[in-house]
Structure 1
Amino acid sequence: MTNNKQIPLSVPNLSLDILENIKECIETGWVSTGGRFITEFEEKIAKYVGVERAVSCQSGTSGLHLALRVLGIESGDEVIVPTVTFIAAVNPVKYMSAEPIFMDCDDTLNIDMDRLEDFLENECNYIDGKVINKKTSKQIKAIVVVHVFGNPVDMERLMKIREKYNLKVIEDSTEALGSYYLEGEYKGKYCGTIGDIGVYSFNANKIITTGGGGMVVSNDQELLDEVAFLGVQAKTNSLYFVHDEIGYNYRMTNIQAAFGIDQIDRLEEFIETKIKNYNIYKKALQNIDGLTLLPFRQDTRSNHWFYSILVDKNKYGIDRDELLRKLNEENIQARPLWRLIHKQKPYVGSQSYRIEKAEFYEKNLINVSCSSNLSEDEVEVVVGKLMEYKLPSV
């Protein structure tokens, strides 16, 4: 029987309480890139993740672009990036006319630290505080890490690598707002607040949304000053319109921030629902041979943004693509893992290093419905279909 009600993958969880904020924007005329909600939202995000300051921007992508710019990435430089991510995590490297080097993932779907260390030790020279790629003779200046699906990267190990090789670290935390560490050196620290710069996204499918928009955080206030300066067209003198550098129109609007100040207050409620629904999936999938729900790191409190299921065709009876087709035909939105970035047309000529595990997950992983307003009944509908589609063992 077909499921008549659509169960989306990941949609905004909005409240009509926001309307009062929107009404104020309209009545005061502050609908664009100025207004009190921008400042209030920046302050709320900074307080939530435990930093002194946050700087809003147009999107997570623009935040990553600004991060690379203020960290000194220039034309001809190289930046280490994961291949398992959305392409927006990598494109800003090209915006700077720099070149990405792609790394494999581990079983958390995050960048493989073993491969990263092997690459730096065996494929690079460390000369006068600079990492030089043996293959290209170019300097590697930074690493972009993505906390994939809200599952925190091993930042303790990464920051030791950073220290050893004098590299900058950009935390793409666009999927990981609310994820933090429960153990180790960074106990209590939120994703995005450990590297040189962290970036969050408030796109409509993220755990909180402003429709679009992003936020940049750092413990280096000079970097944040530069991010704020460049994001508003680099005005040296705003009264007389003096611009001494090339800047960008990367400002968040007051209307977007008006959504944000309500959304951030509900974030913990959203995470609680996501964890509860994840555990329903987990219990049910233990009884479905051939489907494995990927875990989140036990030494962290993940925001559980996306749920990932590994499909073993030999045990389940159908492959990942057939399962995707069946679910979507039933109005249950599901999606595959991203196409690996090193295989995307703009990057086929870029350097990649021993990518193996990512290929496996690309072929066999599926993301299932995980909105923060997903009901338990809807989870049961999805689980019921996952049980129904399994073919009897031969």
Structure 2
Amino acid sequence: MNIKSIVEFVRDVYKTDEFIPLHAPVFDGNEKKYVLDTLDSTFVSSVGKYVDDFERKMESYTGTSRAVATVNGTAALSAALYLAGVKRGDLVITQALTFVATCNALYHLGAEPVFTDVSPVSLGLCPVALENWLLENAALTDKGCVHRKTHQNIRAVVPMHTFGHPVELDELIDVCKKWHLVLVEDAAESLGSFYKGRHTGTLGEYGALSFNGNKIITTGGGGMVFCRSPEAGIRAKHITTTAKVPHPYEFYHDEPGFNYRMPNLNAALGCGQMEQLDVFLKRKRSLAQRYERFFEGSEFEFVKEPSYAKSNYWLNAVICENNDSRDAILAEMNASNVMVRPIWKLMHRLPMFESAMRDDLTNSEKIEARLINLPSSPVA
């Protein structure tokens, strides 16, 4: 299959000779109406009805006990990790094949990432690699799970649902229970994805979503913390709103908090987007099926949802034969005004995380060298 035929296929899908972005937002519903309503009300900041409405809509859709809106996805993950008890000097196990925000959230809490390999099935954290690293490096003590050489606490595990494809959650949960670790799901990319009938971000103790402009729905910026228990949800709301104790006029804060509140203006946009989520998901699954049929029988391996899951197919992807093939496609398609992207550089290749502990990352390195993302905006 030559690159020109891929370009022609994508242009035929999107019915345009103009520039085709990787993933663009769609505003076909009540977004403008709701945003203008916030302007008319003057409640554009963190006080206003749309923040509560957005949180309740998300709880209803995902089945989480409590959803707490935040200013962005990194803030949501940072709050989730804080609620999980992650402290300065702790180790947190995650994947090197992720967007940098996963590790930035750890860095700003003073924790250190440990990178274990991903599964070729999900492209997310591999439970076998996780267990093997723990067997080789960790011990259970009266302090909990600790690293045998450094004696640092190993506090949590953070799998990321890559491109919306759910990781093998049952197996990861079993490993976490065995080693007394808290599972925090980085569900930034997976709104609308389900693992064995349950929405991603709701199986771990905490989950975090992103509503960046390139996500399946957007609030411009924005994120959401999912909490398994209502009590944790109450605390999440408290610490993300500066830990202010309610009072008619006094300002009293009972612990260090975060100013992570989502503005009402952004939440209004989110409410309009949520009304169209099912339509977006239907369109994206149809697009994924078209890509799958197009690449069937070729030298390219289309990345499909795992058998145990239903994915939102946030970003469609193919695995190329080799790194040279990947680079040729990246160069030619972008030169043809069809945006394609490589997967992120592995986190241990970045200067701030190059000294992090890690396993051999065999699958991660293969995927990094060969994967490209294809235009994935929902098509009517």
TM-score under structure 2 length normalisation? 0.92
**Alignment deviations for residues 71-124 of structure 1 (CA, whole Å, 9 cap, x no partner):** 211111111011111010111111111111111112121112111011111211
Aligned match of 1:154: 168
Aligned match of 1:351: 357
Contact 2:29 / 2:275 at 8 angstroms: preserved in 1?
no
Secondary structure in 1 matching 2:159: strand
Give the Cα separation in 2 of the matches to 1:118 and 1:313. Answer: 28
Contact 1:54 / 1:218 at 8 angstroms: preserved in 2?
yes
One-letter code aligned to 2:349:
K
The offset of 1:207, in angstroms, is 0.6
The offset of 1:369, in angstroms, is 0.4
Give the alignment partner of residue 340 of structure 1, picking from 330, 346, 371: 346
Give the Cα separation in 2 of the matches to 1:235 and 1:29. Answer: 22
Aligned match of 1:382: none
Give the alignment partner of residue 304 of structure 2, picking from 273, 295, 303: 295
The offset of 1:360, in angstroms, is 1.0
Give the alignment partner of residue 25 of structure 1, picking from 14, 38, 43: 38
1:83 aligns with 2:96: yes
Contact 1:124 / 1:133 at 8 angstroms: preserved in 2?
yes
Give the Cα separation in 2 of the matches to 1:252 and 1:293. Answer: 36
Contact 2:158 / 2:184 at 8 angstroms: preserved in 1?
yes
The offset of 1:313, in angstroms, is 4.2
Give the alignment partner of residue 293 of structure 2, picking from 260, 270, 283: 283
Contact 2:322 / 2:369 at 8 angstroms: preserved in 1?
no
One-letter code aligned to 1:321:
D
Contact 1:129 / 1:166 at 8 angstroms: preserved in 2?
no
Contact 1:237 / 1:243 at 8 angstroms: preserved in 2?
no
Identity %: 33
Aligned match of 1:233: 242
Aligned match of 1:74: 87
1:106 aligns with 2:119: yes
Q: What does 1:1-394 align with in structure 2 at a 5 Å threshold?
A: 4-15=17-28, 17-107=30-120, 108-128=122-142, 130-182=144-196, 188-238=197-247, 239-288=249-298, 290-313=299-322, 319-372=325-378, 374=379
The offset of 1:309, in angstroms, is 0.7
Aligned match of 1:391: none
Give the Cα separation in 2 of the matches to 1:53 and 1:246. Answer: 21
Change (3 A) 1:313 1:362: closer
One-letter code aligned to 1:193:
T
Contact 1:293 / 1:310 at 8 angstroms: preserved in 2?
yes
**Alignment deviations for residues 31-56 of structure 1 (CA, whole Å, 9 cap, x no partner):** 11110011111000000001232111
Give the Cα separation in 2 of the matches to 1:271 and 1:259. Answer: 18
The offset of 1:16, in angstroms, is 5.3
Give the Cα separation in 1 of the matches to 2:101 and 2:366. Answer: 22
Unpaired runs of at least 5, structure 2:
12-16
The offset of 1:129, in angstroms, is 6.3
Aligned match of 2:14: none
Secondary structure in 1 matching 2:93: strand
Give the Cα separation in 2 of the matches to 1:70 and 1:283. Answer: 44
The offset of 1:155, in angstroms, is 0.8
One-letter code aligned to 1:140:
I
Contact 2:124 / 2:161 at 8 angstroms: preserved in 1?
yes
Q: Which moved more, 1:261-270 or 1:125-134?
A: 125-134
Change (3 A) 1:129 1:190: farther
One-letter code aligned to 1:253:
P
One-letter code aligned to 2:195:
Y
Aligned match of 1:390: none
Secondary structure in 2 matching 1:242: coil
The offset of 1:330, in angstroms, is 0.7
The offset of 1:245, in angstroms, is 2.2
Contact 2:139 / 2:146 at 8 angstroms: preserved in 1?
yes
Give the Cα separation in 1 of the matches to 2:65 and 2:206. Answer: 13
Give the Cα separation in 2 of the matches to 1:110 and 1:101. Answer: 14
The offset of 1:151, in angstroms, is 0.5
Q: Which moved more, 1:355-364 or 1:125-134?
A: 125-134
The offset of 1:147, in angstroms, is 0.7
Q: Which moved more, 1:242-251 or 1:29-38?
A: 242-251
Give the Cα separation in 2 of the matches to 1:293 and 1:199. Answer: 27
Secondary structure in 1 matching 2:110: coil
TM-score under structure 1 length normalisation? 0.89
Give the Cα separation in 2 of the matches to 1:237 and 1:283. Answer: 56
**Alignment deviations for residues 142-187 of structure 1 (CA, whole Å, 9 cap, x no partner):** 00111111101111111111111111010111101111123xxxxx
Moved over 6 A (4+): none
